Amino acid sequence: MSENLYHEITPEGFGIAIEKDKDLYTKQSPFQKVDVFSSRAFGNVLTLDGLMMVTERDEFFYHEMITHIPMLTHKDPKNILVIGGGDGGTVRELLKHDSVVHIDMVEIDGEVIEASKKYFPTVSSELDNPKVSVLVMDAIEFIKDKTDLYDVVLIDSTDPIGPGEGLFNEGFYNNVKKASKKGGIVVPQTEGPFAQSENMQKTYRLLRKVFKNVAPYCSVMPTYPGGYWSWGFCSDEVDIPLDYRTIDEKRALKIEKTCKIYNRKLHSAVFCVPNFVYELANG
């Protein structure tokens, strides 16, 4: 086994290892350590404070799932807010939807954006799209004075540590809801059901205090701890999409053709979660 290994051991005491080819970039930003290395197995890899964030090979698992479930459940999503997401993958997926008029992406760390533009061109490909405003600031501050603006809000954040901690908080979720339009949908990434069950349970307790309809959906995410990830579908007015036949077939098929994971039948299937996940989200 090559001794040149990247490994992430999460606070839960287990993680992943990837054979490294070369270290490509390292920079201590005011918020976190930004590292990029190349690898035989996953292409270029971005880590923040040593924790796995994005790989060229498997980023689509995450970016398709966080984006297309809310976007195709909403009847006509025009104005979108992405919180975090500095690598640009979520913005790239959002722009597949013809209904999108404008996206605000609020990323605290400009270094992440620069590193992604340089080393992840297929992920950051749409960050200069005229429909996108990239705001480099703390989303906790940004959201405070926003009201009734967004059809869909995606919280594409780091874990609830460091700059990301304040994004897993009742006050923040209330501000996100205030910034959403009537009929709006909010989807935060809600951690790994197996690897970070405590974080996940705490997050859903907060989400359920703020939103009427809250449900986890899950998918494989190879390089995240436990290889299994969750996102939280939250809305006051829109029901959890448990029947894919309620999803507009024409819109869904157009997106499906461009995806490696998302398809219309999967749209409702992802909400069929194992008992332990259901208990974490409702306990």
Spatial separation of the C-alpha atoms in residues 82 and 87, rounded to whole Å? 11
Is the C-alpha dihedral spanning 112, 256, 196, 185 positive or negative?
positive
Please tell me whether residue 52 binds ligand SAM under the rule CB under 6 A: no
Spatial separation of the C-alpha atoms in residues 73 and 77, rounded to whole Å? 9
- Residue from 138, 183, 227, 259 in contact with ligand SAM (CB under 6 A): 138
Spatial separation of the C-alpha atoms in residues 79 and 162, rounded to whole Å? 28
Nearer to ligand SAM, 167 or 247 (CB): 167
| 5-9: strand order across its sheet | 5-9, 15-28, 33-39, 43-48, 51-55
x/- letters, 219..258, toward ligand SAM (CB under 6 A): ----------------------------------------
- Residue from 36, 139, 176, 270 in contact with ligand SAM (CB under 6 A): 139
Please tell me whether residue 200 binds ligand SAM under the rule CB under 6 A: no
Instruction: Determine the residue with CB nearest ligand SAM.
Output: 84
Q: What is the CA radius of gyration of the chain?
A: 18
Cα dihedral 130, 166, 154, 178, rounded to 10, equals -90
Q: Dihedrals φ, ψ of 61, to 5°?
A: -55, -45
- Residue from 86, 192, 216, 241 in contact with ligand SAM (CB under 6 A): 86
Tell me the closest approach of the beta carbon of residue 242 to ligand SAM, in angstroms: 25
Is the C-alpha dihedral spanning 101, 212, 86, 135 positive or negative?
positive
Tell me the closest approach of the beta carbon of residue 88 to ligand SAM, in angstroms: 8
Q: Which of residues 154-193 bind ligand SAM (CB under 6 A)?
A: 156-158, 163-164, 166-167
Active site residue 156: yes
Active-site residue, selected from the candidate residues 156, 159, 236, 239: 156
Residues involved in catalysis: 156
Binding site for ligand SAM (CB under 6 A): 53-54, 59, 62, 83-87, 89, 106-109, 112, 138-140, 156-158, 163-164, 166-167
